[in-house]
Amino acid sequence: MKKKILLNLLVVFLSLFLLNTFSLKAEGELVTNLEGVSIRKKTDDYSQGLRFYGKLDESVKGNAHGFYLAYGKTTLSELTEKLDSGANPIYINGKEVYHIEIPGSTEENNFSVVLVGIPEDGYFDLISVIPYVVVNGVKVFPPEVNKRCVADVALKMANAGEEVADIVRFDSIVNTNKKKVSMSPNGDVIISSGVYELNILKLRREFIKDWNYTFNKTLTELNHEEFFNEAKEGSPDTDVNNNDLSNTNLYKFFNNHRFSNKWRWLLNYMVNECDIYFASLQANAILGNGLGNNLFNGAHLAYSLVNFFNQSNEKGLYNAIDFTDLSRYDRVKNYNDGVYVDMREYELYDEGGEFNLPAPL
């Protein structure tokens, strides 16, 4: 009878243990791959490096933990298969996989690793990083592999308006000869050099994000009248009596310290390539001190900007540039020198490489 009771207790204990273990793993909370990959910039004491972050669940914050780092693309199944093979060291994509155990974590249970010594010609090479935590003698991994490179992180920092001039050889990233492939609004395949974004839908997404960030707005799309009303906020004048744009959101956005270098090319494009006098006049005023005659609170320009991002031709009460003429977009590549691609959305190719045609817009 005593043996039966002990056996029943053991079964209950094992059931609870397995249930709790399954719940933790199913929720995926034991260890997390954090998105915020950053560049640790060069100082007198440190070399430039790529920093990756992981996060521990509170229940395992005292457990051994660390990272596996592999050059190139890999998957969790490929890594675990290599580990299960018992080989030491292990290799993926022909290069040794680095295992780094991290001592301790922050108060928020975060931990990080910095990969240094990345050569300039390897700035576009992906690095796969997988954090782990040891639970009951077994290494537990998150379901996703974080695959990033120096160029990807640097361009994302630049798009966010962060300082990138002090990133070692940032110019070599911007001036790369690698090719990218995209679709124009009229359905043509565009093969272009460099890392500047030409896809109008992605430019629109980026513009909305920056506008919302600057003015604490919640736009999800660009509506002509709604955008114009937001753009002229701050002006004390009626449209027909306005000769000063310097108090408007429109002026403040394009002269914002964080985003002016990113978006002022669009004003130059409007001035030089388009055919509506007042839109050009208003763009020139914003490029300057905001002053001029008959500026209409930027109405012509505001509607033209929305037309640009929506490939539309709405005029409001005044007039605006027609962007249903899709040939206008052919010249964007001659102006954009501030909005970079999100490299997680593109494959960049060396000269002579092969690619699959992208899906139509």
Two structure tokens written together for 156: 């994302």
Q: What pLDDT score does 355 carry? A: 64
Q: What is the mean pLDDT of residues 253-282?
A: 96
Neighbours of 23 (CB within 10 A): 10
Domains for the chain: give ranges and CATH numbers.
30-152 (2.60.40.10), 183-189+196-334 (no CATH)
Name the helix (H) or strand (E) containing 71: strand 65-71
H-run or E-run covering 293 = none
DSSP string, 140-166: E--SS-EEE-HHHHHHHHHHTT---TT
The pLDDT of residue 251 is above 70: yes
Average pLDDT score over residue span 213-236: 97
C-beta atoms surrounding 9 within 10 Å: 10
List all residues 6 or more positions away from 74 whose beta carbon is below 8 Å from its beta carbon: 92, 93, 128, 145
Q: CA nearest 336: which of 184, 148, 199, 210?
A: 199
> Picking from 5-19, 191-205, 211-225, which range would have the lowest pLDDT averaged per residue?
5-19
Q: Are 124 and 178 in contact (CB under 8 A)?
A: yes
Helix extents (H) in the chain: 2-27, 76-84, 150-159, 170-174, 200-215, 224-231, 249-254, 260-273, 277-287, 299-310
What percentage of the chain carries pLDDT values higher than 90?
79
- Model-level pTM greater than 0.75? yes
Query: What is the pLDDT averaged over residues 112-117?
Result: 94
Gap between the Cα atoms of 142 and 132, Å rounded: 7
Distances (CA, A) of 285 to 268, 282, 290, 351: 11, 5, 4, 42
Question: Residue 14: pLDDT above 90?
Answer: no
pLDDT given at position 7: 34
pLDDT at 235: 97
Which is nearest to 305 in space by CA: 283, 287, 284?
Answer: 283
Q: Average pLDDT, whole number, for the chain?
A: 89
Span of 140-154, 177-191, 197-211, 283-297 with lowest mean pLDDT? 177-191
Q: What is the pLDDT of residue 192?
A: 79
* Dist. CA 223–CA 21, nearest whole Å: 50
pLDDT in tens, 277-332: 999 999 999 999 999 999 999 999 999 999 999 999 999 999 999 999 999 999 99
For the purposes of burial, counting CB atoms within 10 Å of the CB of 50, is it exposed (0-12), middle (13-18) or buried (19 or more)? buried
pLDDT (tens digit per residue) in 17-73: 333 333 333 335 799 999 889 999 999 999 999 999 999 999 999 999 999 999 999
246 pLDDT higher than 90: yes
